[in-house]
Each structure stands twice: as structure tokens, then as C-alpha cells.
Amino acid sequence: MIRLVRRPMPSRGWALATPLLAVLLTMIAGGLLFAALGKDPLVAIRTIFWDPIMGKNAFYYRSQLPVKAAPLVLIATGLALGFRAGIWNIGAEGQYIVGALCGAAVGLGFYPAEGWYIFPLMVIAGALGGFLWAMIPALLRVTFGTSEILVSLMLVYVAENLLASMALGAMKNPDGFGFPGSRNLSQYPAAANLEIWPGTGIHWGVIAALIAVICAYVVLARHLLGFQIKVTGLAPRAARFAGVDPKRLIVICLGVSGALAGLAGMFEVSGPSGIVSIDFNVGYGFTAIIVAFLGRLHPVGILLAALLMALTYIGGGIAEGQLGLPSAAILAFQGMLLFFLLALDVLTNFSIRLGSGQTRGGV
């Protein structure tokens, strides 16, 4: 008989080892999956994980790494704060879209004016848009007790429709010969979020992501708010005795994660994407959930996890072109990663005992 015995404290060693083990297992299972699709598994794994950093053309792909990782870091850092406290914002994709729309609206509104103040205003609008979109589930939760999981998720579909109507209507490029999509913000100097150092892929969103990681680290390690978040996640009742106001915490956690997701959307629409289009959102808001868990809900871990996930995006793109691997394979791959991670976490929280040990009476 194998028995699980709860550890008095989660094992620190396993907590650090499980993400690595999960990545390894995902590679093996992914290899089997690719073999089942009729691809050479070793070539597929090398194309996804090795070629973007070390293969030929790596100089280009390496600059893509921060571009893809920055939105994931921004969103996941915010989500992790809530997840730690048991507050489940799973609608970051919607907040990302609304943030992008608000940021783009400011930029397009000023077109073709020039001025240093335009881009900062767009940043503020983007954060505010995501914040307000996240306030819908937050306020419904604190006033009516409505599940923030379902409301935030429903709002993703609302935001996607809003995006479509904007791309085809209000924000459509008047000089675009009738094609859907807005003006290209990355070609409008006052609003463009361009690379700060050419060739590195580092744009303002990357800087913002790093600042967010540092702030989240400080808040969690040193600030009272961080203590309140952690204690609420571990023992909600104890938290109330310690003077934590659960409603305030819900509003803060959802608000911060919404604002960060909105920022991510705004940096994306003014830089790498440039255009408000129907297919603007590519699922960063959902992948960020995996990133948050893979990074152990810790800011530094999230930074590393986001880089890994960005790698699979880029590698997946290369594999799509070179090996004909379907783009959806990467989605399945990422889902698998989360499964293995959650499964292995049993080792963090429990120790495994062989033999029956002391059996309890009755059953």
C-alpha cells in the first residue's frame, strides 16, 4: 500500500525541483505525441527548445524572446498575487484586450499630432482599461458574492466581441481601403512602442515587466499587503483574525492583475502587433495562468517560466514552418506541462510512505 502523508510544511526542495521535472516529463510526453503525429521526436524537441537560442537565425529569434515573454510576465505576475490569496482572475485575456483597446483609442485619437505626452497617456489608458474591466468581477464579487471565476471568464468573450466591433467599426483605418483593422500604431512615432536598443527586442513593455517583477517581489517579501495575501491563501479564517479585510484584498488583487494585463495589451498593440485587428489576442491571458503556476506563483519564478513559455511559442513557430507541426501542438504541449506540474506537486505537499503503517480502525 502506498500512502500519502501530509508534510507539516511544503517541501522547499521539491517545490523548486517539480517545475524542472515537469518540463522534462513534458518533453518526453511531447516527444511521444510528435512521434504519434509522424514527426521525428528528437528533431521536433530540438527545433522547439534549441534552435531559437542556438540554431542558425538565432540572432533573430533571440530578440523575439523578450517580446513574447514580456506580456506573459506582466499578466502572470498580477495573476499570481490573486492566486496566492485564492482569488481566481481567469479573465486576463479580456483585460488584455480592453487595455489594448483603451491604449489604442488614445493613440488613434491624437493621430496625427506629435508630442512626448501621447505615449505616456496611452500607457495610463491601457492600465486603466484593464483595471476597470477587472473591477467588474471584483465589485460583483464583493457586493453580491458572484463567482469571480465565471464573471471574469464571461467577460473574455464580451471583450473579444468588443475588439471585433472596434476593428471593423470605430477604429478601422480610414485610409485602409476598406480592409479591417486600425492604423498601424507602430508607424506613428508619437504612439509607437519601439525597441529601445535595436536588435535586442527590448521595448517599453519589457522594462515594465521587469519593474512589475521587482515590485511584486518587494510587496510579497516585505510589505504588509504581501503578508495579507499569503496568510489569506494559507488560512482564510486566521487571516480575518489577523485583521485582513477580504473584500479589500479581492479588489486589490483583481485590480492589480487587471491593470497589468491591460498594460501588456497596450504595449502589444502599440509595438509588436501595431494594429487593432480581429485576431489581435493570441491567448497570452490563458498561457499566463500556466506561467504563474510553473513559476510557483513567485515573481522570479514567473520570469523564468515566461522565458521558457516564450521559447515554446517561438520554437513552435519554427517547427510549424520547418516540420509542418500544427500550431495547436504547442497549446497541447503547454496544457500537458501544467498537468505534470500539478501532478508532481503531490511530492511537495505530501511525503510518500510505503507499507500500511498504522492502519486506522473501521475502514
Q: Output 166 or 208, the one with its CB closest to another protein.
A: 166
- For 8, 60, 352, the CA distances from 357, given in Å and listed in that order, are 18, 58, 11
As measured in angstroms, the least distance from the Cβ of 226 to another protein is: 21
Contacts (CB under 8 A) with another protein, residues 70-129? 88, 90
Measured at the CA of 102, the angle between CA 98 and CA 103, to 5 degrees, comes to: 115
Measured at the CA of 112, the angle between CA 109 and CA 114, to 5 degrees, comes to: 100
Alpha carbons 259 and 133: distance in angstroms, whole number: 9
Contacts (CB under 8 A) with another protein, residues 137-166? 140, 144-147, 149-151, 153-158, 161-162, 164-165
290 binds another protein per the rule CB under 8 A:
yes
338 binds another protein per the rule CB under 8 A:
yes
Burial readout 124-155 (b: 16 or more C-beta within 10 A, e: otherwise): ebbbbbbbbbbbbbbbbbbeeeeebeebbbeb
10 binds another protein per the rule CB under 8 A:
no
In the block, residue with C-alpha cell 480592409? 179
Q: Output 21 or 153, the one with its CB closest to another protein.
A: 153
Measured at the CA of 20, the angle between CA 17 and CA 26, to 5 degrees, comes to: 135
Using a 10 angstrom Cβ sphere, with 0-12 exposed, 13-18 middle and 19 or more buried, the burial of residue 95 is buried
Q: Output 79 or 128, the one with its CB closest to another protein.
A: 79
As measured in angstroms, the least distance from the Cβ of 151 to another protein is: 5
Per CB under 8 A, residues contacting another protein are 3-6, 33, 37, 88, 90, 136, 140, 144-147, 149-151, 153-158, 161-162, 164-165, 168-169, 286, 289-290, 293, 326, 328-336, 338-339, 342-343, 345-346, 349-350, 360, 362-363
